Structure 1
């Protein structure tokens, strides 16, 4: 797996997420400032709700901008001796299924597909991120979520 290609896919996914958030924020702002959103009575809360939605969407845009900035700092093609922020990890579970992970600073759960392989972004604060952080190729890691235990062996870390 080429780490540069994975990084480009993550960048593209984050930019798409930003574009989606910006469009939603623009739409919410237009709704909040539209003449039909003006309260007709003291009990009409449509304008207040529209304003809250617009504010929330703007905060979402700011969060994606922050994520893009944080990810830019994690993009490193150098192979680290231990798994850390910016590592691309290939692991195998106890059923011999191969999994790919990218240890990113945020956006845990973001998925990208590269050459038919699914790469899942994990964060250092997630259970799997905590289990893998600091490990080396050949190490095993184990973590438990909702009473279910997961085991992986690290096959590669880039």
Structure 2
């Protein structure tokens, strides 16, 4: 597995998510503007609720579209032995209990999970505490992170 494969899978996943979101937004819009949903009295709120849903769906479409654009324009560079981890790097962490976690430090779409060659890769950003902690780190560095009010230790075992 390499960074380019992960980036390509992220882009593919975002395209599918965008398609689903666009269809959901269109359905919500059609529901909100349908003549049968015009309020007949002050308690008839179906049209209003549908319009709130349509607005939320439209925002979601725009968020995914922005994420997709960021990833399509992302220029991947080899791991820099001087600067350490930065956006666009693929990182493997190992917990104190020996569990491995594959992370892609990206510009957006935090929490997105993709599978590449049978391995689950989670997208994180530098806005998250873990992403901030990883910036500038190197292979072999150890991290102590507070997760759900408990201290967890990880070692960076590989960076691409």
TM-score class normalised by the smaller sequence: over 0.9
Does the 8 Å CA contact 1:141/1:151 hold for their aligned counterparts? yes
| Alpha-carbon distance between aligned partners in 1 of 2:133 and 2:150, rounded to the nearest angstrom | 14
**Alignment partner of 1:101: what SS?**
strand
Unaligned runs of 5+ in 1: none
Q: CA deviation at 1:73?
A: 3.7
Does the 8 Å CA contact 2:85/2:137 hold for their aligned counterparts? yes
Q: CA deviation at 1:77?
A: 4.1
Does the 8 Å CA contact 2:79/2:85 hold for their aligned counterparts? no
Matches within 5 A, 1:39-50: 39-50=39-50
Runs of 4+ in 1 over 3 A off after TM superposition: none
Residue of structure 1 in register with 2:116 after alignment: 114
Residue of structure 1 in register with 2:31 after alignment: 31
Aligned length: 158
| Alpha-carbon distance between aligned partners in 1 of 2:101 and 2:148, rounded to the nearest angstrom | 20
What is the TM-score with the length of structure 1 in the denominator? 0.93
| Alpha-carbon distance between aligned partners in 1 of 2:44 and 2:156, rounded to the nearest angstrom | 57
| Alpha-carbon distance between aligned partners in 2 of 1:84 and 1:77, rounded to the nearest angstrom | 10
Residue of structure 1 in register with 2:149 after alignment: 147
Q: Which one of 89, 92, 101 corresponds to residue 90 of structure 1?
A: 92
2:127 is the counterpart of 1:128: no
What is the TM-score with the length of structure 2 in the denominator? 0.92
Does the 8 Å CA contact 1:111/1:119 hold for their aligned counterparts? yes
Unaligned runs of 5+ in 2: none
